[in-house]
């Protein structure tokens, strides 16, 4: 079942319980393949991937994570062949796929036995990009002096290419702390003109692109990168 952009808010901010990445983030390894009779493997177009939910405990993960970590060989030893493969939920141990002899290769259009892709949540990468780029830019959610407040008039959006060398270094360091590479940083950067005397009072920051919570900056950090969408924020 394809998750359209208007429904993605229900998944936004949720993490894969297996790998810890956000459900709306993916790698090339997550992308689905189509079954073909002859020739080599072929990825599905447009680029897409799937999410699978444990029917017992309800936890959701990338289908590729289920393939990598929930599919296990059963039996076998030094002098005996394995009996086959089965899938159990890494969280609750529920048996999802009973013992079978073979495990289909991912690049040969692997599907979870008994749970075809048509029944799974299908995420189109282009839809994710549209959803993230269409997010409304909000204000910085903050708590100052114990009272909920919003800091107004401190935001300015600039292009990544316009940053100074020192700012690029700060963003690059922040990206590493967020587990991102330079190529994953969004082209739009938010400059937060927060007076130094107010920075120590800010207890909660949210991404100005996708509204995901940002990790608090360290004492000497001058940039934060959102782990969810890769948007950089200069302090």
**pLDDT value of residue 117:** 95
Residue ranges in the chain modelled with pLDDT below 70: 76-80, 133-155, 193-204, 219
**pLDDT value of residue 130:** 79
DSSP state of 99: E
- Of 212, 214, 204, the residue nearest 177 (C-alpha): 214
- Of 173, 179, 228, 182, the residue nearest 205 (C-alpha): 228
Phi, psi of 28 (to 5 degrees): -60, -30
Q: What percent of the chain has pLDDT over 90?
A: 45
Q: Can you state the percent helix, strand and coil of the chain, rounding each to 5?
A: 25, 30, 50
**pLDDT value of residue 151:** 41
**pLDDT value of residue 53:** 95
């Amino acid at each position: 079942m394809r998750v359209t952009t208007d429904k993605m808010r229900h998944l936004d901010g949720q993490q894969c319980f297996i790998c810890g990445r956000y459900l709306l983030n993916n790698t090339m390894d997550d992308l689905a393949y189509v079954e073909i009779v002859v020739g080599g493997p072929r990825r599905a177009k447009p680029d897409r991937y799937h999410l699978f939910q444990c029917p017992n405990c309800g936890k959701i993960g990338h289908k590729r994570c289920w393939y990598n970590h929930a599919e296990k060989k059963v039996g076998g030893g030094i002098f005996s062949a394995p009996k086959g493969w089965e899938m159990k939920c890494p969280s609750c141990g529920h048996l999802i796929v009973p013992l079978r002899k073979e495990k289909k290769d991912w690049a040969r259009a692997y599907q979870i036995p008994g749970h075809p892709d048509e029944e799974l949540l299908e995420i189109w990468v282009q839809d994710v990009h549209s959803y993230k780029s269409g997010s409304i830019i909000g204000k910085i959610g903050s708590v100052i002096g114990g009272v909920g407040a919003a800091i107004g008039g401190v935001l300015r959006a600039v292009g990544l290419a316009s940053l100074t060398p020192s700012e690029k270094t700060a963003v690059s360091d922040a990206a590493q702390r967020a587990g991102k590479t330079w190529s994953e940083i969004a082209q739009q950067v938010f400059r937060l003109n927060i007076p130094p005397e107010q920075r120590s009072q800010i207890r909660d920051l949210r991404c100005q692109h996708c509204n995901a919570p940002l990790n608090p900056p360290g004492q000497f950090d001058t940039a934060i990168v959102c782990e969810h969408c890769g948007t950089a924020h200069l302090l």
